[in-house]
Amino acid sequence: MANSPSILVGPSPKLELSIEQSFMEEGKSKGFQPYTMVAELIGTYFLIFIGCAAAIVNKIQPLTIVGIAIVWGLVLMAAIYALGHVSGAHFNPAVTIALAVARKFPLKHVPMYVVSQLVGATLASLTLRVLFNDQDSNNIRTIMTHYSAPTTDLEAIAWEFIITFLLMFTICGVATDHRGCKDLSGLAVGAVLLVNVIVAGPITGASMNPARSIGPAIVLGIYTKIWVFIVSPILGAMAATLVYSIVRVPKPEISGSTTKSINNHMCTQAEP
């Protein structure tokens, strides 16, 4: 009886999925480079310049809170897409510190990033003061983040904590999680900023960003309640990274059965 020909069947090739580096973690993968500081400075400058300019223009020609919020959301979205691949597009000390605490960003790079962000915000505020120096002095004061009665310190802290938490939680989901849709990360983060400004803008100014409050304070020499806009956003951002790390579903592993299922599906699609 003739021997039947044997067929050697090798193991199915494993399906390998490439994982792209999250844009918020650019500094972690590349290490510190001077151009990342420049990118953070430029991005923060234009974020504060355009956003705060909208608040001043609103005093001259009413834009409404919705119009101001749209400006903030759009400029952040544009800055993320323009510089996200360069520096990670933090533009916010609270974001940088929270990412470092979550080990998504090198702790040793935090001071340099924060300094760049503060310088950018201060230069933007100074530019606005020069450009609008012939306007009513009350107009330039609109770039400040502030609150007044009946809003209490505790209420202001709560507002800034909550809206910063939402902003950072969104960043964690779309920008630091490799499974997120990074192509839409700028749109998502910009949309959250827009919504937060609409809701909290009339109450606290919707800072969410220590640099956004410190820059105008330095230029105008007004530091009333500045600690609220430093401490609360940082705590809110740190809390968001902690909560996201808890609720984040573990990344599923591609097992042999899953690989076989994917291969079968691919073969089925290839059949006429």
Q: Report yes or no: 72 and 51 within 8 Å, Cβ to Cβ.
A: yes
What is the pLDDT at residue 148?
85
Nearest to 23 by CA among 195, 140, 152, 181: 181
Q: What total number of domains does the chain contain?
A: 1
Mean pLDDT of 171-185: 83
Is residue 17 domain-resident? Answer: no
Nearest to 176 by CA among 110, 255, 101, 114: 101
Alpha-carbon distance of 175 to 84, in angstroms, equals: 10
Among 21-25, 163-167, 176-180, 204-208, the range scoring the smallest mean pLDDT is 21-25
Mean pLDDT of 190-195: 98
Alpha-carbon distance of 185 to 85, in angstroms, equals: 12
What is the pLDDT at residue 176?
83
We report the CATH number of the domain holding residue 243 as 1.20.1080.10
Domain that holds residue 77: 34-247
What is the DSSP code string of 144-191? S----TT--HHHHHHHHHHHHHHHHHHHIIIIISTTS-GGGHHHHHHH
Is residue 165 domain-resident? Answer: yes
Among 14-28, 36-50, 53-67, 96-110, the range scoring the smallest mean pLDDT is 14-28
For residue 82, give Cα distances in angstroms to 54, 65, 68, 138, 263. 21, 26, 21, 33, 38
What is the share, in percent, of the chain residues with pLDDT greater than 70?
Answer: 79
Is residue 10 domain-resident? Answer: no
Which tokens sit at 84? Answer: 């996200």
Residues 6+ apart with CB under 8 A from 117: 40, 41, 44, 90, 91, 92, 93, 96, 211
What is the pLDDT at residue 200?
97
What is the share, in percent, of the chain residues with pLDDT greater than 90?
Answer: 68
Whether pLDDT at 257 is above 80: no
* Greatest mean pLDDT range, 109-113, 173-177, 246-250: 109-113
Is residue 225 domain-resident? Answer: yes
Mean pLDDT of 234-253: 86
Whether pLDDT at 31 is above 80: no
Mean pLDDT of 24-31: 54
Is residue 75 domain-resident? Answer: yes
For residue 108, give Cα distances in angstroms to 98, 113, 203, 208, 211. 13, 10, 35, 23, 19
DSSP state for residue 88 in the 8-state scheme: -
pLDDT digits (tens, 9 = 90+) for 126-170: 999 999 987 777 788 999 999 988 999 999 999 999 999 999 999
Mean pLDDT of 179-201: 92
Q: Report yes or no: 138 and 59 within 8 Å, Cβ to Cβ.
A: yes
Is residue 45 domain-resident? Answer: yes
Q: Report yes or no: 20 and 29 within 8 Å, Cβ to Cβ.
A: no
Is residue 148 domain-resident? Answer: yes
What is the pLDDT at residue 90?
97
Is residue 7 domain-resident? Answer: no
Count CB atoms within 10 A of the CB of residue 182.
19
pLDDT digits (tens, 9 = 90+) for 51-110: 999 999 999 899 999 999 999 999 999 999 999 999 999 999 999 999 999 999 999 999
What is the pLDDT at residue 272?
45
Per the listing, tokens 């409404």 go with 64
Q: Report yes or no: 140 and 56 within 8 Å, Cβ to Cβ.
A: yes
